[in-house]
Amino acid sequence: MSRAEQKLIAEGYEIRNAKITKAVLRFLEHGTLVFEATIEGPGWMVGWDGSRILGQQFYDKKAYEMTFQGSAKGLEYIMRIMDVVGVCSFACLEGSYVRVAFKDSEATHIGNILKDNWFSYTEFFEDNANEDQEHEHGT
């Protein structure tokens, strides 16, 4: 058992093996670009949604064209997931096997199936919220 897994278990997490059965980037009806993933194990399934940070499209009435706003953090989010899973192509996420850490019925960490490499989307969002607050307050 890896050190990261030992730490997660000591913090009250349960580690399970799983398979990513869906991984897509798509625009919602209101123009928000979202990342969605479905991760499944024996008798359970969870959905991950990183829509809070990817980007959005909207119609610029002054320029008479579609405008796009993206997030560097959204790209980093996808890159970190690909790194942890161990794929070099977004298309290869589907069908990949991973480890998932659960606490209180919530899947908060995804890990490489063989290596001691983990990503916590909750910590990622918390870190980004803290960075945004620091920028707003000039610290």
pLDDT digits (tens, 9 = 90+) for 2-31: 888 999 999 999 999 999 999 998 887 777
138 in any annotated domain: no
CA–CA–CA angle 111, 87, 124 (5° rounding):
45
Q: Looking at the domain assignment, is residue 13 inside a domain?
A: yes
Q: Is 127 inside a domain boundary?
A: yes
Q: pLDDT, tens digit, for every residue of 31-44?
A: 788 889 999 999 99
Residue 30 maps to a domain:
yes
User: Cα–chain-centroid distance for residue 114?
Assistant: 19
Range(s) of the domain holding residue 126: 3-132
Distance CA 14, CA 104 (A): 9
R_g (Cα) of the chain, nearest Å = 17
- 35 within a domain of the structure (yes/no): yes
Q: How many structural domains are present in the chain?
A: 1
Candidates 26, 27, 21, 64; CA nearest to 40 is 21
Q: Which pLDDT belongs to residue 50? A: 63
> Residue 131 pLDDT > 70, yes or no?
no
pLDDT at 28: 79
Does 139 reside within a domain? no
Q: Confirm whether 14 is domain-assigned.
A: yes
Residue 75 has pLDDT above 60, yes or no: yes
Terminal alpha carbon distance of the chain: 40
- Residue 137 domain flag: no
